[in-house]
Structure 1
């Protein structure tokens, strides 16, 4: 069971809301390896079956975002699921949409990066990889 549980955790991608949701699914199941393995391999389908519960959890997280991060988070809906998003392009688009507040002595790119890290630190989005100079792709 430990190996299956580790696989489930890996497949949640580090998103706490997904982990909490999957735990609620597992609580309803008997402790059988085959049932848990099915959850591990099909997390997305479990989420889509229980969309209302998952959306309620996501809504709670969204409601606790600061106002300036909400439009930035919603902007991710324009991207295809599970595809890498080039950060520099995303930042330029946020700026073009007017999502980035002007902060004295800081560039809009720096402020947008701060917004991005705010979403990452709240586990609302995942970093898919880092470049050799430490920059991120999401």
Structure 2
């Protein structure tokens, strides 16, 4: 059976979802000042999972299709002493690909050198989320 009204409602809902995933952001959270930051990517066995970051060093790389204030609220950023830099505004798939490239290459970036910790991902990224 064909229900024109149900089809209209479905199409409207699908359009809303499609639009949401068209305007995603790929972002980087940077340390605001020198200090200790929580480290989810530190090797196991470290009793105090924090790492020292200098101002401007990368703490987290991510992407979201939510409002950036929903994903990492101002309170969250203040608590962790980081600032959010919007790197790209692209469709979800492209943001995800950019994020993976940045995470996997992060250890080579000058704003991400943590040789003493042996980190291969930014401190707050647990994995590369492949």
User: Do they superpose with TM above 0.5?
Assistant: no
Which one scores higher on RCO, CA 8 angstroms, separation ≥ 6?
2
Q: Flag the structure with higher helix content.
A: 1
Of the two, which has the highest radius of gyration?
2
**TM-score, normalising length: structure 2:** 0.35
Q: Flag the structure with higher strand content.
A: 2
**TM-score, normalising length: structure 1:** 0.34
